[in-house]
Amino acid sequence: MSELRLTDDGTSLRVAHDGGELLRYVYRPDDAQLESPRPYFHPLRTLGGRIVSLYRPHDHVWHKGLALSLPNVGSENFWGGTTYRRGIGYRQYDNDGSMRHRGFTGHTHEPGRVGASHRLDWVTQAGATWFTEERSFIVTTAPEAWALRFETTFTSVAEEPVVIGSPTTEGRDNAGYGGLFWRGPRSFTDGVVRVPGRTGGDELMGVRAPWMAYTGRHDETGGASTLLFADDSPGTPVRWFVRANPFAAVCPAPFFDTEFPIAPGESLSLRYAVVIADGDHGDEGTAALAGIATGALAGR
């Protein structure tokens, strides 16, 4: 049986498979406040060792591999950088909050699976705690891929209701990003996007589907890798934010075009699986990867 190993260096967790690193989960980031410091997964690698994430790209330095990131949380920004407001557009405010690690509540070290759970506080740039969060992730492997299950529940401890939205709910068309956001390598630009029954690219922005996959190519070798994202959060199939150009990005976006108010004491839960595989699996093979995501979400 292949071996998964979880280690902790005091600022990040590292998951290795048969000695090769699959991911690093940085839970104590040292990013500037402008970039909304928050935990992130980077690098992400395939079983074959290819990197499939990008950290601090020059065009959006607040993009951090794979990270829970929300740009419009009431008056605050837990995404980083500028905030889009109706009638104003993008402007830089002193509102870039942070998600701060408070302590681990458990670690998983089992044959074929490793992971961790921890508590976080969402703190505004002014220093007020608005949410407490319980977050966990589990890594499992399959013959041709590996899967990351990510779960979170965040609870409002703010004094007033907080409305979560997106640039689209503020009036910018097709900019409904916010949620578990992935930024792909530069070489993944103009990759192939798949959802059940459809294959395309940027025209799939805003589609509703239970999963979305992105296949991109690597420099030097020209080989391909595929990431499949599945949403198992409460509610109807989510709308997806996706870009293949000018860069590769995927985000199951629960607040794409709908504002969600959270009153003091209320909670919101999100649950996802991300499958990472070497190669372009085509339409049928990508659907099979969705089965791996289903198994990860079911605890298999």
Which phi and psi (to 5°) does residue 191 adopt?
Answer: -75, -175
Percent of the chain with pLDDT over 90: 96
pLDDT at residue 236 tops 90: no
Identify the residue whose tokens are 């068309």.
Answer: 173
Residues in the chain, overall count: 300
Closest by CA position to 138, among listed 93, 108, 169: 108
Q: For residue range 165-189, list pLDDT tens digits in order.
A: 999 999 999 999 999 999 999 999 9
How is residue 132 written in tokens? Answer: 């407490």
The structure tokens listed for 124 are: 């505004």
**With a threshold of 0.95, does the pTM exceed it?**
yes
Identify residue 149 by its one-letter amino acid code. Answer: R
In 157-195, beta strands by DSSP E:
162-165, 179-183, 192-195
**In DSSP terms, which residues pair with 260 in a beta bridge?**
164
The per-residue pLDDT for range 52-67, each reduced to its tens digit, is 999 999 999 999 999 9
Chain-wide mean pLDDT for the chain? 97
Q: Is the pLDDT of residue 1 over 60?
A: no
Set out the domains of the chain in order of their start, with CATH numbers: 4-297 (2.70.98)
Beta-bridged to residue 146, according to DSSP, are 141, 276
Give the whole-angstrom CA distance, residue 171 versus residue 157: 28
Q: Tell me: the pLDDT tens digits for 2-26?
A: 699 999 999 999 999 999 999 999 9
N-to-C CA span, the chain: 15
